[in-house]
Amino acid sequence: MDEYIHDDDSYRRVQALLLEEMERGLGKETVAEATVKMFPTYVRSLPDGSERGNFLALDLGGTNFRVLLISLKGEKVNMQNKIYPISQELMAGAGEKLFDHIAGCISNFMMDHQLVGVGRIPLGFTFSFPCRQEGLAVGRLVRWTKGFHCQGVEGEDVVRLLHEAIRRRSDIDVECVALLNDTVGCLMSCAFLDHSTEVGVILGTGTNACYMERLNRVGTWDGDHGQPDQVIINTEWGAFGDNGCIDFVFTDVDRAIDHDSLNPGKQLFEKMISGMYLGEVVRRVLIKCINAGLILSGQVTEELDTPSRFYTKYLSEIEKTIARIMTAATCSTSALWSAREPLILPLPVSIATLLNRIDKPSVTVAVDGSLYRFHPHFHNLMTQKTQELLNPGLKFHLMLSEDGSGKGAALVAAVSNRIAAAAEANK
Ligand code: BGC
C-alpha cells in the first residue's frame, strides 16, 4: 500500500509544478497552453463594511441550486433562501432548458417574497464552473465540471443566457450585475469580517481557490491599471495535472476514477480530493486493503463492491465514530490513520503554494465546502500540514466562510455599486 503515501519531496515537487502552472496561466503568451487557467475575475475591491441594500443571489454548482434574498446593513446581514432541485435530466439536457428552469425558480422565489413589481432588483450569480470573464457581468463557460454537461452553454456568456431566459418569461424584473465563482464569494464573505482575508478555497463537490493578485503580475489583464492595482484571480486549480505534470503522484485508483468519470483526462487534481470523488477513492482503496488481507478478514461486501456506493460524507461520519467502528469491525487502525493523510495532502500543498506566492506575513484563508465543514479533523490536519510547507516567517489561519455563495454574491454586487456611485460622485 506504500504507493498511496508520498514523501515530503514529492509534495515539494508538486508545489513547484503548481507554481509553474499558475505562472503559465497568468502569462499572456503562455495562457493558451496552461491547464491552471488563473482567470482574472474583475473583482478588485474587498468589502469595507459600508455595503447596503437588497440583493438577489443565485448559487449554482454544488449539490443544490439556491435562490437567495440578501439584505446588507453594514455588519448585519439578513438572508432568506430556498433550495430548488436540479434533476439529472436538467444537468445533462439542453442549456436553454436549464436556464429556463433557473428563471422559473427566480420567479417563484420572488412571488413568495413579494418582490414582483417593486422595481428592478440587482442580482449576483454564483456560477461555480470555470468561466473566462470579460467583465464583472460577462463570463463564458470554458467547460462543465462536477457532473453537469448541458449542451449549448460551453463557450457562451452565461449571464446572457440567464437574461434571455428571464426575458422569455417576462414576469420578473431582475438584472444580473455580477457573475462570480464560489471561491470569490467565499473570500468576499470572510473579507467582510476579517480584512486580512486574501484567499478563498472550496473543498466541496469540486475544489478550487482564488486569491488577490497584484495587477503587474497578471499578464492576461486587459482592464484598466488604475487603483486598486489588484484583482482576484480564480485559479481553477481543479484542472492541475491535466497535462500529465503530476502523473508521478497519481495512483492506479486515481487513474481508474478518472477513466470511469464523465470527463476523462479533465479536472485530475479535483478528482484526487473533492467530495464528488473522495468517497469513491476511499471505497477503491478499502477494497484493495481488504483484498490484500489487511482489513475485514478479506471479505468485500456486496455494498462496498458497488461503484459510488461509499459516499464522501461517510468519511466524516466514520471519523466521528471511529473508535466504535474499530472495535466492532476489528479494523487495523494504522491502515486507516495512515490512509487519511495522503487523502487530504493535495490541499495543504496547494494552499501553501498560494500563500508562498502572496508572501505576506499573515493571511486569512477563507474555506468552505461540505468536506471541510463536516469533517472533524480536516481543519487541524490542513493547518498543520500547510504550516509545514510554508516559507519561513509566513503565518496564516483558516476561517470557515459562512454561506459565501449567497452572501459573497450580494457583496460583489454591493461593492461594485459602491464603487460606481463613488465614481459618479467624483465626476
Ligand atoms: C469548478 C470551479 C469551482 C469548484 C468548486 C470546480 O469543478 O471548476 O469553478 O469553484 O468546482 O465548486
Q: What is the mean pLDDT of residues 310-322?
A: 75
The H-or-E segment that residue 189 falls in is helix 182-191
* Domain final position from 160, 180, 200: 180
* Active-site position among 66, 132, 283, 284: 66
Ligand 1 in contact with 41 (CB < 6 A)? no
In a domain, 68, yes or no: yes
Q: pLDDT by residue (tens digit) across 56-105?
A: 999 999 778 999 999 998 778 899 999 999 999 999 999 999 999 999 99
- In percent, the amount of the chain with pLDDT more than 90 equals 63
Report for 2-6, 170-174, 287-291, 329-333: range of highest mean pLDDT: 170-174
pLDDT of residue 410: 92
Q: Within a domain: residue 70? A: yes
pLDDT, position 322: 64
pLDDT reading at 5 higher than 70: no
Based on the domain organization, do 14 and 49 belong to the same domain?
Answer: no
> Could you tell me if 31 and 59 lie in one domain?
no
> Tell me, what's the pLDDT at 114?
95
Do residue 28 and residue 153 come from a single domain?
A: no
Gap between the Cα atoms of 12 and 144, Å rounded = 30
Higher pLDDT, 194 or 422: 194
Residue 65 domain boundaries: 45-180
The enclosing domain of 22 has a CATH number of: 3.40.367.20
182: annotated active-site residue: yes
Residue 205 in any domain: the answer is no
- Report the interhelical angle of 333-344 vs 322-329 (nearest 10°): 140
Annotated active-site residue 189? The verdict is no
Q: Kindly give the distance from the C-alpha atom of residue 206 to the centroid of ligand 1, in angstroms, as a whole number.
A: 5
The answer to whether residues 144 and 270 belong to one domain is no
Residue 417 lies in a domain: no
How many domains are contained in the chain? 2
Which residue did the predictor score with more confidence, 293 or 17? 17
194 domain-assigned = no
Of 186, 270, 350, 370, the one to substitute when testing ligand 1's pocket (max ligand atoms within 8 A of C-beta) is 270
What CATH number has the domain bearing residue 94?
3.30.420.40
User: Across the chain, what does the average pLDDT equal?
Assistant: 89
Q: Compute the average pLDDT of residues 415-424.
A: 78
Q: Say what the pLDDT of residue 324 is.
A: 54
The residue out of 146, 180, 214 marking a domain boundary is 180
Residue 224, domain member (yes or no): no
Residues 49 and 167 in one domain: yes
Residues 88 and 153 in one domain: yes
128 flagged as catalytic: yes
Mean of pLDDT values over 224-234: 94
Q: Is the pLDDT of residue 289 over 90?
A: no
Predicted confidence band at 214 (pLDDT cuts at 50, 70, 90)?
A: very high
pLDDT band at 345 (very low <50, low <70, confident <90, very high): confident
Whether residues 31 and 128 share a domain: the answer is no
Domain shared by 343 and 384, yes or no? yes
In a domain? residue 421: no
User: Has residue 122 been placed in a domain?
Assistant: yes
The amino acid present at 360, given as its one-letter code, is K
Q: Both 242 and 386 in a single domain?
A: yes
pLDDT the model gives residue 342: 61
Ligand 1 atom closest to residue 145's alpha carbon, by position in its atom list: 7
User: Could you tell me if 55 and 99 lie in one domain?
Assistant: yes
Given this model, what pLDDT does residue 419 score?
77
Do 253 and 300 share a domain, yes or no? Answer: yes
Closest CA to 268 of 260, 258, 259, 276: 258
Question: Do 150 and 94 share a structural domain?
Answer: yes
Handedness of CA 126, 127, 132, 134 (dihedral sign): negative
**Which of 146, 149, 263 maximizes ligand 1 atoms within 8 Å of its Cβ, making it the mutation to test the pocket?**
146
Average pLDDT over residues 293-318: 82
Answer yes or no: pTM beyond 0.85: yes
Q: Are 192 and 72 in contact (CB under 8 A)?
A: no
